Amino acid sequence: MIVLDGYAVDVTKLELEDIIDKSVLQLFLDNFALGFNCAAVSVGRNGEEFTNPSYYRPFCANYIHTSAVGDARCASCHKEFGKKAAASKRPYIGPCHAGLIDFSAPILIEGELIGTILGGQILTSPIDESKVRQVAQEIHTNSDGLVEAAEKIDIVPEKTIEAAAEVLYIVANALAQSGYNRIKADLLSAELANSFIQISSTVEELAASAQSITGNQSSLVNEINTVGDNLKSIVSALRDVSKIADQIRMIGLNATIEAARLGQTGKTIAVVAEEIRKLADTTKSTVASIDTIKEAIEKSVNSTVHSANDTLNSTSEQAAAMEELSAAVQSSSSLAELLKDMSQTH
């Protein structure tokens, strides 16, 4: 069973079925057993059969495995062979519980024993009949039949057995590593797809935000331009006020002259004329002060408009760049999703 530890595979929970196609392994073992004239089978972590037995000898198929005791001993023997092979990380060759020569090839993933490929049911020398009969007695099967089946077992040179074990080891581990790499690739592609989806979502939000900022900045520029236009209207109005102040001052001056001509009678007119001139001077002075303030405001508005336009250009460029980035990320996300889907179909 595939169990994840974060984004890594927990190899202590892996089984043969997780990393090796059973039908492919079955086909390989059938051909291997036929080619090397021996039996073969793959077993899991605890010695349970993963593939069907390939060319089991009648000695095992018709006698040992038909006995509950014999079958249990075989499972225990398979497990023990797997442990010994795993300990050395190399193929192991030795006698099984029934006296035949077997060999095992450990299937290792990052040093963890996932299963074992077993071959054998052969001999390197003629059988010891007394030992065969003792085995038959222990597993409660027909001793004559077991002896007859033992006599038909091939006697094979040790070098041939060593070569067969090495072939099993190389091929089985190549299949296992390939399957394990596929699982890791699936996880990485899934992680990549998820990451791109998250990035794509974030970039889309940033792109929308950039567009919003651009819109707000454009509105700000328009507002500032409106302020500038209003300021021009104020300047025009101030000029009119200044002209009126000049006219009032002229009226006051004329009134003063007229008051002087009238003498005592014109004293009241003189006072009024003086106040009119003072009002005109005050108005003129106020207009001048406002004009100075206007120039400062106008300068500030112009500077703000310039800065706002620069900012608008920058935000527009950023928005365009974000849109391009968003498109690129969405394209990458689509590719990652495609990779994920492809990996899940294999």
Query: Which comes out higher in pLDDT, residue 322 or 93?
Result: 93
Give residue-wise pLDDT tens across range 14-39: 899 999 999 999 999 999 999 888 99
Give residue-wise pLDDT tens across range 35-82: 888 999 998 888 788 999 999 999 999 999 999 999 999 888 888 887
Can you tell me whether residue 54 is helix, strand or coil?
Answer: strand
- Whether 94 contacts 102, CB under 8 Å: yes
Is the pTM higher than 0.75? The answer reads no
Quick one: CA torsion of 331, 8, 24, 155, rounded to 10 degrees?
Answer: 150
Band of residue 83 on the pLDDT scale cut at 50, 70, 90: confident
Give residue-wise pLDDT tens across range 330-343: 666 666 666 556 55
User: What are 43's strand-pairing partners?
Assistant: 49, 116
Q: Domains in the chain, please, with CATH?
A: 4-156 (3.30.450.20), 192-344 (1.10.287.950)
d(CA 72, CA 59): 16
Q: How far is CA 209 from CA 23, 201, 285, 329, in A?
A: 54, 12, 49, 17
Query: Which comes out higher in pLDDT, residue 158 or 4?
Result: 158
- Whether 321 contacts 160, CB under 8 Å: no
Q: Report DSSP state, residue 20.
A: S
Highest mean pLDDT among 40-54, 190-204, 229-243: 40-54
Residue 104 dihedral angles phi and psi, to the nearest 5°: -130, 145
Q: Which of 137-151, 186-200, 259-273 has the lowest mean pLDDT?
A: 259-273
CA 264-266-269 angle, 5° bins: 145
